[in-house]
Every structure is written in C-alpha cells, then in structure tokens.
Structure 1
Amino acid sequence: LLRLHRAGERGLAHAQGVARAALALGRALAAAGLSLDLELLEVAALLHDIAKGSQEHEKEGGMLLADLGYAPVAEIVAAHRDIDPAGMERPGERELVYLADKLVRGQERVNVEQRFQEKLDRFAGNPEAVTAITRRREHALAMRALVERVAGRSLDAILDGEGPWD
C-alpha cells in the first residue's frame, strides 16, 4: 500500500522506524500487563503516513484506509497527529503509534524535546504555529510520561532494548 501511494524510500524507512518504536513500546506495555493487539499496532504504524503530502494527511490516510475496509487501522492513522492524554489511565495502540511517530525522524530515533524544538525553531516567526506546536509538545510529553508510568521503565530504556537505531 505504501508503494502504491508513492511513499518513496524515505517514507518507507520512516514507516519502518515508527513500527519498530511502536512495537517496542507495545511489548513493554504488554509485559506490564496491558492487552494490546501488536499486529494492529504494527500495521497502523507502518501505514500512519500513507497520505503524507496531503493537507491533513492523518485524516486523509484514515479515510483512505477506511474506504479500503481497514477500519481499526484507519482510526489509529486518523488520530496520529495529536492526542491529548489528559485523564487517560492507559495507552492503547492509537496512543502508541502517535508517540512512536514523535520518536522517529526519518528512520532515526529522536527524543520528544528534540523533535518539537526543531519545529519551534522552524516556525519561530509564526506565533500561531508556535502555540500549536507547543500544545502538541505538551501532549507528547504527557503521553511519554503515561507510557513510562504504565511500563515502569523510561522510553530510553525501552527503546535501547531494541539495539542500535542507525
């Protein structure tokens, strides 16, 4: 599907990196007792940017996948841009794909602060964009804290267990 929708080599590499991170998070949470569908998690992570290049690519990707009959994957893809974890007790597949996407630039592992600082630097002259980016950064940091609390380990410890990322 990614090749059919012209993801390109960079897009494929990013999809694989996000899937790797999402599965590492999923396995850590499963080891902590959460019931997760790791196959759904992997597929959604691989397809999360299927409509990249479109305006609101997450919604476009969700609609595309829903039209193809992949409703559970579509719901996750449609939500991967921003999720506010306020009041959430445990993350599910949707939240793990969202967070994994924030932890991978291209196929390279990055931390949440680094990922969002790059965006803040790029849009520094646009106060509206800075406000939106800052809000999304706070959501991502809160999601990281939730995952770490439930897993009983830091994200670094979880992802370091996957071996080298280069």
Structure 2
Amino acid sequence: MLSAFDALKLLKDEGCADNVIRHCQVVSEIAVNIARDFQKKGHKVDVQLVEVGALLHDIGRSRTHDIRHAIEGASIGEGLGLDPRIIHIIRNHIGAGITSEEAKAMGLPEVDHLPISTEEKIVAHADNLVMSDERVPLERCIQRMRDRGMGEEAIQRVQALADELGSY
C-alpha cells in the first residue's frame, strides 16, 4: 500500500495543481477522521486505504476538471498499477456515485460508478463535505448540486450516504 507521502508525490508527478492537492489533503483529513470514528464503533475499515484513496481521488484533475476526471483518474491509477481498491475509490467518488443511466447521459462508460466498500463510501462522503479546501455542511453541498441542476435521485443518494455514515 502506498504511503500518504507517496500519494502526494504521485499527485505532483501527474501534474495536479496545488489547489487540487490541497483539496485532496483536506478530503483525506476528514475521511481519516470518519474512518477512525467507524473503527471506534466496531466497524471494520482500512484507514490507510481511506487516507491514500482520498489523497488520490482527484488525480484525474491533472487531465480534466469536468465529470470525466474520475474516469481519467481511474485510468491513471491503472496505468500506475495502483491497488484496485484505490482505483475503485477514484472512479466512484463523485457525489454518492453515478448510476449507469446517469453515466450514459453524461457520456461516461455505461456502468455503475457507485461506491460499494466502506472505504469508497467514506471518501465519497468526505469529498462532498469539501468545497475547494474548505469543509462545508452537507446542506451546502446539496444546495450546490441543486444549483447545478443535478437530478433529485443523485441528491437523494448523497443524503442517504450521509445518513448511512452518520452525522459527521
């Protein structure tokens, strides 16, 4: 498993901007806190996977800043031979995931991009709580989704993910 230091080096080596790297660091800090909370409650969670996955979740922003950054990031991860669990975190981190129907409408590969593992869910949720490099309330994230014309189904998934993981 990569270390946090190695993950940050990968972001820099792939050409991610400093603001993207800072965003990833804040998401990682929040995700690790959520993961540790989960552990304290008796849930099994790989905190190191959460930390590294959260650091690398936006590596695709080295190529694009649109919705395809998750697909591009997964492609980068595959090319680098990253652990498949990290690649799943990168691919499935947007919102609370994207269904195959939504993916098709967005011009993405027509498969589900939904977070399945606890680690994937934690990183997706933590990412929802960070705008730029600032932690924001979930309500602000949801309002931003509405302002951007996101569908109600996607918004409901974000809320359901937050409910599943508990108030954080």
Fold match by TM threshold 0.5 = yes
Give the aligned length. Answer: 137
Please say if residues 65 and 74 of structure 1, whose CA atoms lie closer than 8 Å, have aligned partners that are also in contact: yes
Please list every run of 5 or more consecutive structure 1 residues that lacks an aligned counterpart in the other structure. 85-89, 124-128, 149-153, 156-166
1:139 aligns with 2:157: yes
Please say if residues 57 and 93 of structure 2, whose CA atoms lie closer than 8 Å, have aligned partners that are also in contact: yes
- Report the AA paired with residue 100 of structure 1: A
* Aligned match of 1:83: 96
Task: Tell me the CA shift for residue 30 of structure 1.
Answer: 0.5
SS of equivalent residue, structure 1 residue 2? helix
Moved over 6 A (4+): none
Query: d(CA) in 2 for partners of 1:75 and 1:4?
Result: 21
* Aligned match of 2:24: 15
Query: d(CA) in 1 for partners of 2:153 and 2:25?
Result: 27
Please list every run of 5 or more consecutive structure 2 residues that lacks an aligned counterpart in the other structure. 1-9, 98-115
Structure 1 residues 76 and 140: CA distance shift in structure 2, 3 A: same
TM-score normalised to structure 1 length:
0.76
Please say if residues 145 and 155 of structure 2, whose CA atoms lie closer than 8 Å, have aligned partners that are also in contact: no
Calculate the aligned-residue CA RMSD, in Å.
1.8
- Report the AA paired with residue 27 of structure 1: R
Structure 1 residues 49 and 106: CA distance shift in structure 2, 3 A: same
SS of equivalent residue, structure 1 residue 7? coil
* Aligned match of 2:87: 74
SS of equivalent residue, structure 1 residue 51? helix
TM-score normalised to structure 2 length:
0.75
